[in-house]
Chains A and B, each alone.
Chain A
Amino acid sequence: MQPKTILALALCSIGVAGCATRTSDSEVEGAVAEVIKVSFKTRGQATVDRLNQDDAQALCSKYHDRPPREIAGKIEQSQTATIRYPSSGKLMGDWREGERIAQSGVGWQFTDAPTRPAGGSCYNCHQISKQELSFGTIGPSLYQFGKLRGSGEAIQKYAFGKIYNAEAFSACSNMPRFGHNGVLTEEQITHLVALLLDPDSPVNK
């Protein structure tokens, strides 16, 4: 055997050993798809088709929520196009209703009644009014949100859009796309806008 052939064979066997110890990405992907298919079952309103990802979900999963800038820009662009502002033009509802929605964490679990309107789970992740001490910290504090920013049309539009589809402003945000995904109604979102911006809301006291 020529030395070159021996070298080639040696390299080849290293390559094969490498393949045997490391599973390729596509193999893992195939395995995950199969694992998902056999491991979940529809229960109540939580049907198995909820596991099908849209483009934004798939990209965020792929990049572990830190997509390259170019892809982040594309996600934000496509998500911005989904936002539907109220045709009435009225973006501010009732902050008292908003507070109730912000407190409630029910909705969309297989243990929840599908007929009951979902809450916004806002306090799970955000400080909002000063009175509520039991708040989460996954999202930023929203206390004094309106006091710092005013309550003009531009900020109303921003707040509505952010709640409607947070990924329009920040790709792969942890925050659910409440309006886009149909979790909250347009009217519910206007109440949350009021909770954040109304000068009478406890948020701005």
Chain B
Amino acid sequence: MRIHRLLAGMLAVTLPCFSLAQQDTLKEIERYRQLLQESNPAELYEARGAEHWKRERGPKNSSLERCDLGLGPGVVKGAYVRLPRYFADTDRVQDLESRLVTCMVTLQGFTPEEARRSPFSGTGTPMITTEPFSGVSRPSVMTDLVAWIASESRGMKIEPPMSHPKERLAYQAGERLFYYRAGPYDFGCVTCHGEEGKRIRLQNLPKMTNAKDAQRAFGTWPGYRVSEGEVRSMQWRMWECIRQMRFPELEFASDASIALITYLAKKAEGGTLDAPSIKR
């Protein structure tokens, strides 16, 4: 991972030297991404995630192997591309991460607060201190699980179900939230993701109502972000956008986060999951 960060740093320093035109810069970044994709550090997270799935944890000293991600207890293959979806046992639409919270509570006996405590790896959020990890990266069990479970849908078509009324309601609520402008900057998701071919600084922005853009954006989360040296999940992406929009903090696994993810999943329908990916 250190080598990747070093490479990123070197690239950042040398970019202005060899690229006067911006198109060249963007092309070089794309080429760099492709190079990295061949040895994505997300594989470490995936390997840990596969172990967490089988490991007995929590007050019930039980694994997650009977967790139902929508395709039946224990079925992981293809589950991620069919989420978010309605679950009868919770009577809620859930994305992968909120569903994992449910399984940690019902199967392993954690309290909901414990299960939600360390959703993201690295800095910024407190980690579950009982976890036997140490060092700079401070992994999160949740992020590791997400990386592995997503990898088990790699190459599959994104097909979120929309047959249950609550799934459709979540989609409609997500659409409203997408266009919801508020706060001191008057921002909404639509401010940055409502038009084609736009950028913030040099960062390209997907237009989420455009199928091709949405498929590429949605289909590459979770992803290893070189700039942070961490794998980040779709819940993190929502949380971080909302922070930059100057909104109050979006709660992990909250209904608003799930509604937004449901809306985006539907917009990305038919795309192919290419995750965990590698990102700038």
Instruction: Decide whether A and B assemble into one complex.
Output: yes
Instruction: Tell me the smallest distance from the CB of A135 to a CB of chain B, in Å.
Output: 7
Query: Is residue A14 within 8 Å, beta carbon to beta carbon, of the partner chain?
Result: no
Bound Cα distance A110, B257 (Å): 18
- Would A133 and B22 be within 8 Å (CB), given that A23-B165, A176-B185, A181-B185 are in contact? yes
| A40 and B247 contact, Cβ closer than 8 Å, known pairs A32-B176, A52-B182 | yes
Beyond A38-B255, A50-B183, is A43–B248 a contact (Cβ under 8 Å)?
yes
Determine the chain A residues whose CB is within 8 A of the CB of B242 once the complex forms: 40
* Interface 9-mer from A3-11, A59-67, A142-150, A192-200: A59-67
* B73-81, B103-111, B199-207, B267-275 - the one binding chain A: B199-207
List chain B residues, Cβ under 8 A from A22.
168
- B248 close to A47 (CB less than 8 A): yes
Q: How far is the CB of A178 from chain B (nearest CB, A)?
A: 9
**Closest partner residue, chain B, to A121 (CB atom):** B185
Residue of A nearest to B190 (CB): A65
Determine if B172 is an interface residue (Cβ-Cβ < 8 Å).
yes
Cross-chain contact A35 with B248 (CB below 8 angstroms): no
**Which residues of A sit under 8 angstroms from B243, Cβ to Cβ?**
46, 109-111
A28 to B243, CA, bound (A): 25
Interface size class of B (residues with CB under 8 A): 35 or more
Please tell me if A125 contacts chain B, counting CB pairs below 8 Å.
yes
Q: With an 8 A cutoff between CB atoms, is B16 at the interface? A: yes
A40–B249 contact, CB under 8 A? yes
Asked, given contacts A23-B172, A65-B190, whether A135 binds B247 with beta carbons under 8 Å apart, the answer is no
Q: Write out the residue numbers on chain A whose beta carbons fall within 8 Å of the beta carbon of B54.
A: none
Nearest residue, chain B, Cβ from A180: B186
> Is chain B's interface secondary structure helix, strand, loop, or mixed overall?
mixed
Q: Say whether B179 contacts A51, CB under 8 Å.
A: no
Taking a contact as CB atoms closer than 8 A, the residue among A28, A32, A36, A53 that contacts B181 in the complex is A53
When each residue 174-200 of chain B gets 1 if its CB lies under 8 Å from chain A and 0 otherwise, what string results?
Answer: 001101111111111011101101111
B246 in contact (CB, < 8 A): yes
Q: Which residues of A contact B201 (CB under 8 A)?
A: 123-124, 134-136
Chain B positions within 8 Å of A57 at CB level: 181-182, 186
Which one, B182, B192, B244, B254, contacts A53 given CB within 8 A? Answer: B182
A109 contact set on B, CB distance < 8 A = 243-244, 246
Contact A138 B254 (CB under 8 A): no
Q: How far is the CA of A182 from the CA of B187 in the complex (A)?
A: 15
Extra contacts, 13 of them, besides A35-B255, A36-B180, A108-B185 (Cβ < 8 A), are A21-B168, A36-B177, A39-B256, A39-B257, A43-B249, A46-B247, A46-B248, A57-B186, A60-B181, A65-B194, A108-B183, A134-B201, A174-B191
B-binding residues in A (CB < 8 A): 20-23, 27-29, 31-32, 34-36, 38-43, 46-48, 50-53, 56-57, 60-61, 64-65, 108-111, 123-125, 133-138, 167, 174-177, 181-183
The 4 closest A-B pairs by CB, nearest first: A39-B256, A39-B254, A43-B249, A176-B185
